[in-house]
Amino acid sequence: MTAVGNALQAIVEEHNDQTTGVALCSHYEGATIFVVSPGHDVQQSIAEVASKFPDLHVITRATTASISQLSAAGRKLLQSPGMQGLVTGAGPDMYSGGLRITVAQDKWPLSATEKGRIDDAVKVLNGSRLPLIYEQGGTAVLD
């Protein structure tokens, strides 16, 4: 199953403006590739991968934004002066096609006002709203 995942991930890397990511699933013995309005070349590449692995399911799921768009929005959000001290992490969430936002531990749980500030900042930085998933940040301890 790793081979099908690697083949689909190569498509994501080559077409990061049309794709968001790949998830492997042992439940249905296969992989899912998350796409945003894929062009014919991406669809053809996915079909070729599926034909090479006939015993595995290759599923295509539509999502909101591409990995390149989400990565850029996350970087911009983290660099935004209004978010310092509030947002400690931001990264792509391929399942929602949005951003997974890590919030400073002392700001958790977020108030409606703080959520609104983050949502508005993402809209300005990205040019449109994105699904946002919030999680509490914390301190990691390495042994």
The reply to whether omega before 109 is within 30° of 0 (cis) is: yes
Each residue's pLDDT tens digit, 2-21: 999 999 999 999 999 999 99
Residue 142 lies in a domain: no
Could you list the residue range(s) of the whole structural domain that residue 43 is in?
Answer: 2-62
**Residue 66: closest CA among 88, 89, 98, 41:** 98
pTM attached to this predicted model:
0.89
Between the two ends of the chain, the Cα-to-Cα distance in Å is 33
Contact 36, 55 (CB under 8 A): no
- Residue 141 token pair: 């301890």
Each residue's pLDDT tens digit, 99-131: 999 999 999 999 999 999 999 999 999 999 999
pLDDT at 27 (0 to 100): 81
The mean of the pLDDT values for the chain is: 94
CATH number of the domain bearing residue 72: 3.30.300
26/87 same-domain check? no
- The secondary structure of residue 140, as a DSSP letter, is -
